[in-house]
Structure 1
Amino acid sequence: MSVPTRGAVIRYSYLWADESAVGAEEGRKDRPSLVLALAVRKEDGLTEILVLAVTHSPPRTETDGVLLSPDIKRHLGLDDAPSWIVTTEANFFVWPGPDLRPIPGRKPATVVYGHVPDGLLTRVARSYLNNRQRQRNRMVRRTE
């Protein structure tokens, strides 16, 4: 399975920080997640991926997430309900990892819904970095 690029939206068993804090090791729901960053480890050449969850739940404050437009959701093949990319937490894992899930009904089988436009990716990255700078985000490192 090839490594996705930044801006890809993948189907992933996302583990929320609150779930991880109480000992959960598996996400309760497979969901679209945005690949925000990738890094190749020098010592072994493995690729680490940073993903942010896509959710129907509105963020608590405007700075906690970025709204996905209906056009982008349609392009990705997602439902019509409003959705946000959460920028106050992330999952971090070695690609491909055990928590990827094939998208139901897609032929050929794939875990990638598609890609968001560069402008949206930039807005998400700024929001994530601003939350991190203000110490308003949490990272869940997933097992390999």
Structure 2
Amino acid sequence: MDSERHWIRFDELNRFTWPGYDLRPKPDGTYQYGMLPRGLFEALRNGIVEVHRARRAQLVPRDE
């Protein structure tokens, strides 16, 4: 990610094949570039669970 502002939506979950056509592996052949900070991961998980329980989540197909 760059230094620009980014948004996370809990009610719209992308569904796609991993790794996708638009991802390029690192020189060692992996796709992992690091870990999410624990607080961010927990906020993501909790937000997604809350929206799912309220039946407001939708899956959006992103494969082309």
**Residue identity (%):** 24
Q: Which has the higher contact order (CA 8 A, sep 6+)?
A: 2
User: Which of 121, 124, 130 in structure 1 is aligned with 2:50?
Assistant: 130
| TM-score of the two chains, using structure 1 as the length reference | 0.34
| TM-score of the two chains, using structure 2 as the length reference | 0.65
Aligned to 1:79: 2
Residues in 2 aligned to 1:141 and 1:107: alpha-carbon distance in whole angstroms: 29
The residue type equivalent to 1:84 in the other structure is W
Q: 1:123 to 1:114 in 2, by over 3 A?
A: same
Output one character per residue of 1:46-78: Cα deviation in whole Å (capped at 9) or x when no partner: xxxxxxxxxxxxxxxxxxxxxxxxxxxxxxxx2
Deviation (angstroms), 1:117: 1.4
2:39 aligned with 1:116: no
Residues in 2 aligned to 1:120 and 1:84: alpha-carbon distance in whole angstroms: 12
Aligned-residue Cα RMSD (Å) equals 2.8
Q: 1:85 to 1:112 in 2, by over 3 A?
A: farther
Q: 1:107 to 1:81 in 2, by over 3 A?
A: same
